[in-house]
Structure 1
Amino acid sequence: MYPLWFLLPGAAIFIVLFIVPTFASFYYAFTRWTLFDVEFIGFDNFVTFFTDPQLSKGFTNTLIFGALTAGLKVVLGLLIGVLLTSEIWARGYLRAVVFFPVLVSTVGVGITFQALLDPFDGVINQTLAVFGIDGPGWLTDPNLALYSIIGVDVWRGVGLAALIYMAGLVAIPQEYYEAAKVDGASGWHRFWNITLPLVRPATTTVVILSLIGGLREFQLIWVMTGGGPGFASDVLASVIYKQYAYGFFGLSTAGNVVLFVVVSAIILPLFWWLNRKQTEL
């Protein structure tokens, strides 16, 4: 029992700051509350959440954002990882360049790309104008805003995915590749039959981390567009923040519960499925 006493301070902080607020939010999601008053209203907050166009749009955008960012990070992270573990010139420098965006503040990345993607004075559109291309409103066009932020998020996070893949790739015994070469396997067959199956643990890690981060993303979206134009780039986290700012505390608490349930409903079965596939190898 002696070592367990050292867990008590951390456990107390975890219970007070996470467990208690989590369970309390499930109750307050069914109420209309302020700091001084609580009124139980049943499922009204959830009905409003799923019938209000702004809120339902945020729910849809959250799923799109999580799926696309996770998928792109897996594909690009694996390709970059394979490239940076091969015998190429300036490999160490390229690894540092790829990983550098991970170290930069999310707010800093958002402000930087907000300037770069400016439709009039941004470097990207000015560069396109040199080649006679009329650049679009990356962050002002409702059809492009969300996807522009997705591209920035992938740029910011693909370095971590590549690092995880590199750790998995260097752990693969080279004897497998040498034996495959002797048998006449092409580069594609070696990649498909050796590399992909043996980096499955890394793939599981990248998928889970990227999905959790994508479904909960708030800072980058809020800095770059504030959920706009209109509600075009709103996600659940930004909608919840706006409802708190408007004083609809019960509705925003219901949004937090919905976000918690959505993330859990996606991540837990996916984690179980990916790990089951891994054990079958």
Structure 2
Amino acid sequence: MTEIHSPSAEPTARRRRSPYPFWFYLPAAAIYGVLFLFPALSSIWFSLTRWTLFESSFIGLDNFRAFFQEPFLVQGLVNTVIFGFLTSGLKTVLGLLLAVLLTSRIAARDFLRSLAFFPVLVSTIGVGIAFTAMMHPTHGVINEGLALLGVKGPGWLTDRRLALLSVAVVDVWKGVGLATVIFIAGIVSIPKDYYEAARIDGARSLAQFTYVTLPLVRPATVTVVTLSFIGGLRTFDLVWAMTKGGPGFASDVVASVIYKQYQAGFYGLSTAGNVILFALIAVLVLPLYAFLNREEDRS
């Protein structure tokens, strides 16, 4: 009896060949190399040198040693981590709550969605200037409003303990609209059958949110957390517009420290700061992203 070989009996390790020839990828690879790979490798090289626009000399890891030996540079690094965790956490929580509200049956829902997203469209520098005026310790509208209630408002941007927190709150106000839109997209994609089954089983609103919405909106949560965290670690424009890293170095972040060092002519040190910022983002974001995706695979 002859043995019959079916197509499914063929080795499964055979890989499907791409329908496109190899040279199709060359333009994308060239653009990637010119716009990302070459600048990244150049930054690593120049971080190991003392350089100006016309000459450079190799000094090894001296720039990195100088960075971590200066207390205000280390403080900028710590502030960056605090800012990233604080803003991403608040954007995730508030964005999810707003999305739940704006997908419910409330009046003027479409208008409220547009209103929530509006701050995302406004210039960051414009937002920073506006809130700087509003948070003025004596003439700002916030403290004047508190004065009408008999409360003496603090120096939101002049108090070392409040400056970074005040900028973080403004950053959350500006960016929570994007998180809300992402969560709305995730919620409306959940089949209504799950909520109908939950209601039949007697689940109230809180139980539906806990056991239906939260698990099924996890892909949107991963997106919001990742994007918000990276944005928080890379922040510069809002900090510079509102405090310029002050008072003193209380609200400095790595990006503002890099800019100040570049202004002072320490080009090698500022380039080392760029490399440190890139490494910081990779070290914090990649494990976080892997953890969130692992939790998603388990659910």
Alpha-carbon distance in 2 for matches of 1:12, 1:172: 40
Alpha-carbon distance in 1 for matches of 2:224, 2:186: 11
Q: List per-residue Cα deviations over 1:47-98 (Å, max 9, x = no partner).
A: 1111101100000000000000000000000000000000011111111110
Distance change in 2, residues 1:48/1:174 (3 Å): same
Bigger fraction of residues in helix: 1
CA drift of 1:157 comes to: 0.2
Name 1:31's counterpart in structure 2: 49
Is residue 2:150 matched to residue 1:129?
no
Name 1:232's counterpart in structure 2: 250
- Stretches of structure 2 that go unaligned for 5 or more consecutive residues are 1-19
Name 2:163's counterpart in structure 1: 145
Which AA in structure 1 matches 2:295? K
Distance change in 2, residues 1:257/1:196 (3 Å): same
Greater alpha carbon shift after TM alignment, 182-191 vs 73-82: 182-191
Structure number with greater CO (CA < 8 Å, separation at least 6) is: 1
TM-score, scaled to structure 1: 0.96
Distance change in 2, residues 1:180/1:269 (3 Å): same
Distance change in 2, residues 1:103/1:7 (3 Å): farther
CA drift of 1:279 comes to: 1.8
- Stretches of structure 1 that go unaligned for 5 or more consecutive residues are none
Which structure has the larger Rg over C-alpha atoms? Answer: 2
Q: List per-residue Cα deviations over 1:168-222 (Å, max 9, x = no partner).
A: 0001111111111111122221111111000000000000000010000000000
Name 2:134's counterpart in structure 1: 116
Alpha-carbon distance in 2 for matches of 1:270, 1:13: 29
Q: List per-residue Cα deviations over 1:87-142 (Å, max 9, x = no partner).
A: 01111111111000000011111111111111111111111111111111101111
Is residue 2:152 matched to residue 1:104?
no
Length, aligned pairs only: 280
Greater alpha carbon shift after TM alignment, 72-81 vs 119-128: 119-128
Q: Which among 26, 29, 52 is matched to residue 70 of structure 2?
A: 52
CA drift of 1:5 comes to: 5.4
Give the alignment's Cα RMSD to 1 decimal: 1.5
Is residue 2:92 matched to residue 1:74?
yes
Which AA in structure 1 matches 2:33? I
Name 1:165's counterpart in structure 2: 183
Alpha-carbon distance in 1 for matches of 2:200, 2:142: 48
Alpha-carbon distance in 2 for matches of 1:136, 1:7: 58
Name 1:187's counterpart in structure 2: 205
Which AA in structure 2 matches 1:162? T
Alpha-carbon distance in 2 for matches of 1:224, 1:103: 18
Name 2:12's counterpart in structure 1: none
CA drift of 1:7 comes to: 6.4
Which AA in structure 1 matches 2:181? L
Alpha-carbon distance in 2 for matches of 1:261, 1:98: 33
CA drift of 1:11 comes to: 4.6
Which AA in structure 1 matches 2:55? D
Q: List per-residue Cα deviations over 1:128-168 (Å, max 9, x = no partner).
A: 11111111110111110000000000000000000000000
* Matched position secondary structure for 1:39: strand
